Amino acid sequence: MEKIKLHFCDFWNCHTYENDFFVNILKDKYEIVLDSKNPDFVICSCYGYEYRKYNCPRIFYSGENITPDFNVYDYAISFDRLSFGDRYLRVPIYYFFDKIREKIPMPKEPHKRDFCSFLYSNGVYCDDIRIKFFHLLSKYKKVSSGGKLLNNEGKIISDKIDYLSRHKFSIAFENTSSEDYVTEKIYDAFLAHTIPIYWGDKNVVKDFNSDAFINVNDYASLDEVVEKIIELDNDDEKYLKMLNTPYLINGKFADDLSDEKILEFFDNIFKNKGRLYRNDKNNSWDKNGRFYLYSKFQRGVKKKISEFLLKR
């Protein structure tokens, strides 16, 4: 096996080498050695600035709503549909959750479950449509909220998939509506065999079968969305038809994404060992020497997210 020295930096607090998604793909072909002093490559995310210490090729990854700056990184993996040769690969964060979430069986009588779930903690750094829709749908029936936001369960739910699976529908709203940014919210609902009520990326139908969920973007108003939910809630045949519709288009992830495709991306990077594409002179660091993240959260409430990330 070829030995590759890697260093991981600027990731979230709970990130470890043992649970790193990319390592689990690479280790069957490469001998991965952790080396923070003289790595061959640095894999970095968006929660710090340690990557600036290293002159080896930088590989950026983030599941956040952030577009990578290729003046700062040599390669990147993110959610955007970009065409940047062999320097970029689109891997939406929901793909990772396919590997770590426990898949549960379809309930015997799914149409007899509780009405709808709402499981969120964030009510600040998000579009207010999330809270607005919760209150609107609650006028029809109780919407069960098991998270910190608008909790009406009397406790915080720890097992997300199990909680979603106890409901016919799940409110799956992104923090913001950004092109091609699709997170685990809709995918977790699919794994739990509940119908997602999705708001967010208008291109979500490129990732998932439009017949398998309620796409808020398709309706002229939230009132019309509620009418559709009520229709399905009161018609078992229509409900079960949507619930049993395959959510992957042609049984595949978008753009034929697979572990093999991710491995091919890294194969090319390792083959070009030592090759640098970036141009740090054209960087986007701010006056304090911090790299200003090119985020799509630059308009309205979205700006708050960028400011929040920069302070972390």
Q: What tens digit of pLDDT does each residue of 56-70 get? A: 999 999 998 888 989
Q: Please report, rounded to a whole number, the percentage of residues in the chain having pLDDT higher than 70.
A: 89
Task: Tell me the pLDDT band of 305, cut-offs 50, 70 and 90.
Answer: very low
Nearest to 55 by CA among 310, 275, 299, 291: 275
Nearest to 140 by CA among 222, 70, 61, 44: 222
Phi-psi domain of 255 (left: phi exceeds 0; alpha: psi -120 through 50; beta: other): left
Q: Check: pTM over 0.85? Answer yes or no.
A: yes
In tens, the pLDDT along 96-148 reads 988 777 778 999 999 999 999 999 998 788 899 999 999 999 999 999 999 99
Q: How far is CA 76 from the centre of its chain?
A: 15
Task: Tell me the pLDDT band of 283, cut-offs 50, 70 and 90.
Answer: low
Q: Give the per-residue pLDDT at 282.
A: 58
**Selected residue with higher pLDDT from 97 and 306:** 97
Q: What are phi and psi of 234, to 5 degrees?
A: -105, 5
**Selected residue with higher pLDDT from 194 and 295:** 194
Say whether pLDDT at 178 is over 70: yes
Say whether pLDDT at 310 is over 80: no
Secondary structure of the chain as H, E, C letters: CEEEEEEEECCCCCCCCCCCHHHHHHCCCEEEEECCCCCCEEEECCCCCHHHHCCCCEEEECCCCECCCCCCCCEEEECCCCCCHHHEEECCHHHHHHHHCCCCCCCCCHHHCEEEEECCCCCCCCCCHHHHHHHHHHCCCCEEECCCCCCCCCCCCCCHHHHHHCEEEEEEECCCCCCCCCCHHHHHHHHCCCEEEEECCCCHHHCCCHHHCEEHHHCCCHHHHHHHHHHHHCCHHHHHHHHCCCCCHHHCCHHHCCHHHHHHHHHHHHHCCCCCCCCHHHCCECCCCCECCCECCCCCCHHHHHHHHHHC
Q: What are phi and psi of 12, to 5 degrees?
A: -65, 160
Q: Give the per-residue pLDDT at 290.
A: 46
Phi-psi domain of 5 (left: phi exceeds 0; alpha: psi -120 through 50; beta: other): beta
Say whether pLDDT at 238 is over 90: yes
Q: Give the per-residue pLDDT at 297.
A: 40
Say whether pLDDT at 291 is over 90: no
Q: Give the per-residue pLDDT at 312.
A: 41
Six-digit token pair at 145? 């909220």
Q: Give the per-residue pLDDT at 17.
A: 85
CA distance 229 to 217: 14
Task: Tell me the pLDDT band of 308, cut-offs 50, 70 and 90.
Answer: very low
Rg (C-alpha) for the chain, rounded Å, is: 21
Say whether pLDDT at 279 is over 90: no
Q: Which domains does the chain have, with CATH numbers?
A: 2-91+257-311 (3.40.50.11650), 103-254 (3.40.50.11660)
Task: Tell me the pLDDT band of 299, cut-offs 50, 70 and 90.
Answer: very low
User: Starting at the edge strand that comes first in sequence, how are the strands of the sheet with 88-90 ordered?
Assistant: 30-34, 2-9, 41-44, 58-61, 75-78, 88-90
- Tell me the pLDDT of the chain averaged across its residues: 89
